[in-house]
Amino acid sequence: MENQFDAIVIGSGISGGWAAKELCEQGLKTLVLERGRDVRHIKDYPTMTMDPWDFAHGGRMAKEFYQENPLITKAAGFGEDTAHFFIKDANHPYVQEKPFDWIRGYQVGGKSLIWGRACQRWSDYEFKAPQKYGYGIAWPIGYDDIAPWYSHVEKFIGVCGNKDGIEAMPDGEFLPPFELNCVEEHMKDVLEKQFPGRYLVQGRWAHVSEPEQIHLDQGRSKCQCRNKCMRGCPFGGYFSSNASTLPWAEKTGNLTIRPFSVAHSIIYDDASGKASGVKVIDTNTKEEIIYNARIIFVNASALNSNLILLNSRSERFPNGLGNDHDLLGRYVGFHNYRASAGGKISGFEDKYYYGSRPSECIIANYRNLKEQDTDFVGGYTIFTGGYRNRTEEVPENVPQLGADFKHRISKPGDWRIYMYMQGETIPKASNRVYLSPHKTDDWGIPLLVTDVGYDENDDKMVNDFLAESRKMLEQMGCTDIETLDNKQAPGLDIHEMGGVRMGKDPKTSLLNEHNQLHACKNVFVTDGACMTSTGNQSPSILYMALTARAATYAVAQFKSGIL
């Protein structure tokens, strides 16, 4: 009986933490499986209060580390202060059919400790566009179905932002926003006057700007604007599973967390037509253990969720659990981050700003909304902001010592504006992941093969962003404008999605409107793997909302005896 639970959640990150919270809060004895080590809030944040001079390399890594880890060292936020939350390249290999940068964080809390924290709601445009413009299947839900669950999540995690009234980026349940600086106010004014339909807003970010009672009840307090979030925040100022959902679930007495537990596969029972449990391999002892439950949530992060389901083979499902139509692992999408732009702006030298704001500004998507107005499909969000270089440029011939040098580096440098895109991509059958037929990992599980790449639509979107960002920067008064297509491989955005997509028809999708496998109703997938399309907004809060919605449905089915 010690291996019997009401529900099992595979993964403890953003969506897994939410599954645990909802299932436990609603009375189900729940086991959370995490392949990595245990991480406890505050206790296991070793660099949370360190200063730059406390690090051996000033925040960077030794040359040998870069040479041994060319993948993770490219990830946003990676450094000497956050390396403990990233997986070294050699420890968990995979096979790249095409270049794909797979960034992972294996510990209790997963990548919720190192995520970017942007929390825009999807608009109804994004749910409807793939079918409307012919580049995807219909979502089985729309904005009205998920809107109450967005609100449910926002109130609990704490999302700061303005109610801006923008149709392409719906408003939510917001805490007070961080302030725009003087250059960002200028940018906003220029867009409103020179580019009708384009809106710059303060980012909707998962930070407690002013705590409400629900956040205090979680033991969290006000964000201190240190912008050291990815080290782990001792104040709980930003949302993570470790600071929020997992402790909340633990307080119910219904939660069991088992770290060092690799989910090998989900066990299918032919007699009941349902899954009966999960086969686990202890990462330290390599012991095989089976845990049983009536409900299983798969939240291992998109590609690992695909891997687990592909490896869950049985006589009924020889090609992976629920995979009756060769769909599992296909239609993988990601966000296009290739393009960026920036320039210098004058006229604000007498102004500065206070603190290290952890959020960015956003220019809401303005492409292909009510109608297709470009030669590509989909849209893009722009993250942007104004900032001031920390010091003015010091000529090479000036000695780097003495009073003159100290005065120079005490004087703030130029103001600059940056922009970078987060573009929608088209999930295609040819963009897929599958199991290696020959190579396995240290636990005997087949390695995942990634076969995902860009297409012509992505190139056209990049070109549009580069042209439009230059126009906007010019109108804002920038000089020395530079634009860049960095050609980075997919995956470095860390927004991989799809492979187990939702849909109305079991012949073209794997999950229904409640995130249940069409062919195995007691298995739910609510992380990025479930996505039918990628949209252009940051996806993590949608995963949370989908998870809360699906978990509540699952509990109702459980209590009625259907599951």
Q: How confident is the model at residue 398 (pLDDT cuts 50, 70, 90)?
A: confident
Do 502 and 491 form a contact (C-beta atoms < 8 A)?
no
Q: What is the pLDDT of residue 407?
A: 82
295: left (phi over 0), alpha (psi -120 to 50) or beta: beta
Q: How far is CA 172 from the centre of its chain?
A: 19
pLDDT at 498 over 80: yes
Do 45 and 231 form a contact (C-beta atoms < 8 A)?
yes
pLDDT at 104 over 90: yes
pLDDT at 548 over 80: yes
Query: What H or E segment, with its residue span, contains residue 469?
Result: helix 456-475
Q: How far apart are CA 543 and CA 496, in angstroms?
A: 12
Q: What is the pLDDT of residue 302?
A: 98
Q: To 10 degrees, what angle do helices 143-157 and 124-132 make? A: 140
pLDDT at 520 over 70: yes
pLDDT at 405 over 90: no
pLDDT in tens, 7-58: 999 999 999 999 999 999 999 999 999 999 999 999 999 999 999 999 999 8
Do 544 and 18 form a contact (C-beta atoms < 8 A)?
yes
pLDDT, average across residues 93-111: 97
Nearest to 36 by CA among 317, 242, 254: 242
pLDDT at 393 over 80: no
Q: What percent of the chain has pLDDT over 70?
A: 100
Q: What is the pLDDT of residue 195?
A: 98
Domain that includes residue 163, residue range: 4-560
Domain count, the chain: 1
SS3 content of the chain, % helix, strand, coil (to 5): 25, 25, 50
Q: How far apart are CA 377 and CA 60, in angstroms?
A: 39
pLDDT at 410 over 90: no
Q: What percent of the chain has pLDDT over 90?
A: 94
**Cα-flanking dihedrals φ and ψ of residue 164, to 5°?**
-95, -10
Question: What mean pLDDT is reported for the chain?
Answer: 96
Q: How confident is the model at residue 402 (pLDDT cuts 50, 70, 90)?
A: confident
What CATH number is associated with residue 124?
Answer: 3.50.50.60
The position carrying tokens 């603190």 is 355
* SS3 label, residue 67: helix
Structure-block tokens of residue 135: 């580049």
Least confident of 59-63, 499-503, 522-526: 59-63
pLDDT at 276 over 70: yes
Give the amino acid at 494: I
Q: What is the pLDDT of residue 1?
A: 67
Q: What is the pLDDT of residue 515?
A: 98
Q: How confident is the model at residue 141 (pLDDT cuts 50, 70, 90)?
A: very high
pLDDT at 392 over 80: no
Q: How far is CA 365 from the centre of its chain?
A: 19
Q: How far apart are CA 275 and CA 426, in angstroms?
A: 32
Q: What is the pLDDT of residue 401?
A: 85
Q: In whole angstroms, how far apart are CA 502 and each of 80, 356, 497, 517, 554?
A: 39, 39, 11, 9, 16
Other beta carbons within 10 angstroms of residue 560's beta carbon come to: 8
DSSP code of residue 238: B
Give Cβ neighbours of residue 190 (< 8 Å, ≥ 6 apart): 472, 475, 476, 477
Handedness of CA 227, 231, 235, 237 (dihedral sign): positive
Q: How far apart are CA 306 and CA 530, in angstroms?
A: 10
**Largest pairwise CA distance in the chain:** 82
pLDDT, average across residues 135-155: 98
pLDDT at 122 over 80: yes
Q: How far apart are CA 472 and CA 474, in angstroms?
A: 5
